[in-house]
Amino acid sequence: MIRRIFMGLAVLVVLAAAGVAIWGPGFVERRLNPVTMPEAGWPVSPEAEALHRRLVIGDWHSDALLWDRDLLDRAGRGHVDVPRLALGNVAVQVFTTVTKSPRGQNYSRNSAEAPDNITPLFIGQLRPFSAWFSLKERALVQAAALRRAAERAPEALMLIRSAEDLQVLLEARQNGAHTVGALLGTEGGHPLEGNIANLQVLYGAGFRLVGLTHFFDNELGGSLHGEGGAESGLSDFGREVVAEMMAKRMIVDLAHASPQLVRDVLAIPGTRPILSHTGIHGQCASPRNLPDELVQAIARKGGVIGIGFWADVNCGRTPADIAASIQAAIALVGEDAVSLGSDYDGSVDAPFDVAHLAALTQALMDAGLSDEQIAKVMGGNMMRYLAQVL
């Protein structure tokens, strides 16, 4: 039996190595994370570029850690790395860890028991063996990669674990530093593996944000795209996790949450969740976008809404389409509750990578937003929320 197990593992390693040689994770990433920017780029006026350079910019969602690139090197694929964040003048980027994705993933109905897309990706990337079959270890491996990058280049990348860290970062940037702040989150609470003690493990590894669900129902509750449907809410374990997160000053993210789970979290006294990456249903009637009344309810509890950059949530592929979603969000919840939630590197398209983020500043100017409104949306609202909640 032992010999058969080792033979099976050897076959997996050979297949993984063959996959790297033949198709490679880089090929997969290029296919899944395209940039649809015209070859000549989007036009940005000197006025928009000057405003963009003055902004304090933050983004709630990037899955760049999934792709096993060295974030300190500028890549020729995907959307985000530290050099491109610096070029885009981003002050704070949330990096989320993806640990499980059901085969045939869609916006309507996914089974938690479906074959997983992340397992072959981790094997093909030759990630540590401990992460091949453990969701918790997958999250920790990605967290360790971010931490090592910050340790190797502290002048370029700083981990944000508290409001005090955020203040240090922003003061340094005011004094001329170009350091990017990195906040660590997990896409879905399934890396907890149903054990509340694992929340402290993740917290100790630097996690400060937890999206409760992703594309399938998990131990915490119902997904917007799960089998339980709209009425699958927060489980008893989910309530325990939310309470412990509040005690630890961690951020509750309701992206991918079912409508009932959203209502259940909002009903808990003291919760102040965010919606990290989304569009506005009244502007783009995608099944990925929550009903408008739930988005308003999140904002009423003091949360912020991160507008995504990909076509499915904006019903379009240009900076102007993202700006239209931001306008719709401001009309729905007010200018103090809207922020950026790109979903960069999340197996989505984007009209520009983060180095060319000034294209969005131009689009917001073209849409008639004031400089003050643009400053709030591009990062001011996010920084205020982090300073109050972390």
User: For residues 59 and 378, what is the distance between their CA atoms, to the nearest angstrom?
Assistant: 8
Hey, is 231 helix, strand or coil?
coil
Both tokens of 75, joined, read 């890549």
pLDDT band at 7 (very low <50, low <70, confident <90, very high): very low
pLDDT above 90 coverage of the chain, percent? 92
Q: How far is CA 51 from the centre of its chain?
A: 25
User: For residues 354 and 90, what is the distance between their CA atoms, to the nearest angstrom?
Assistant: 8
pLDDT band at 11 (very low <50, low <70, confident <90, very high): very low
pLDDT band at 49 (very low <50, low <70, confident <90, very high): very high
pLDDT band at 8 (very low <50, low <70, confident <90, very high): very low
What's the pLDDT score for residue 26? 83
Phi/psi of residue 97, each to 5°? -100, 130
- The neighbour count for residue 116, using CB atoms within 10 Å, is 18
Strands (E), 84-217: 90-97, 157-159, 180-187, 207-211
User: For residues 232 and 259, what is the distance between their CA atoms, to the nearest angstrom?
Assistant: 8
Helix (H) or strand (E) holding 385: helix 381-389
Buried b vs exposed e over 19-57: b needs ≥16 C-beta within 10 Å? bbeeeebbebbeebbebebeeeebebeeebeebbeebbb
- The neighbour count for residue 307, using CB atoms within 10 Å, is 29
Mean pLDDT of 271-287: 98
Q: pLDDT of 60-85, one tens digit each? A: 999 999 999 999 999 999 999 999 99
What's the pLDDT score for residue 278? 98
User: For residues 158 and 174, what is the distance between their CA atoms, to the nearest angstrom?
Assistant: 15
User: For residues 213 and 139, what is the distance between their CA atoms, to the nearest angstrom?
Assistant: 14
Q: With 70 as the cut, is the pLDDT of residue 263 above it?
A: yes
Both tokens of 133, joined, read 């079959």
CA angle 359, 362, 365 (to 5 degrees): 155
The answer for residues whose C-beta is within 8 angstroms of residue 202's C-beta and 6 or more apart is 136, 139, 140, 143, 186, 191, 192, 210
Both tokens of 18, joined, read 């063959």
What's the pLDDT score for residue 23? 52
In three-state form (DSSP H/G/I as H, E/B as E, the rest C), the secondary structure along 93-127 is: EEEEECCCCECCCCCCCECCCCCECHHHHHHHCCC
Q: How far is CA 380 from the centre of its chain?
A: 18
The answer for residues whose C-beta is within 8 angstroms of residue 237's C-beta and 6 or more apart is 194, 196, 219, 220
Give me the residues paired with residue 207 across strands: 184
Give me the residues paired with residue 257 across strands: 223
Give, to the nearest 10 degrees, the angle between helix 259-267 and helix 236-247: 50
Please state which of the ranges 1-10, 77-86, 194-203, 315-324 shows the lowest mean pLDDT: 1-10
Mean pLDDT of 171-196: 98
User: For residues 275 and 338, what is the distance between their CA atoms, to the nearest angstrom?
Assistant: 10
Q: Are 346 and 65 in contact (CB under 8 A)?
A: no
DSSP letters for 5-28? HHHHHHHHHHHHHHHHHHTHHHHH
10 Å CB burial of residue 144 (0-12, 13-18, 19+) is: middle
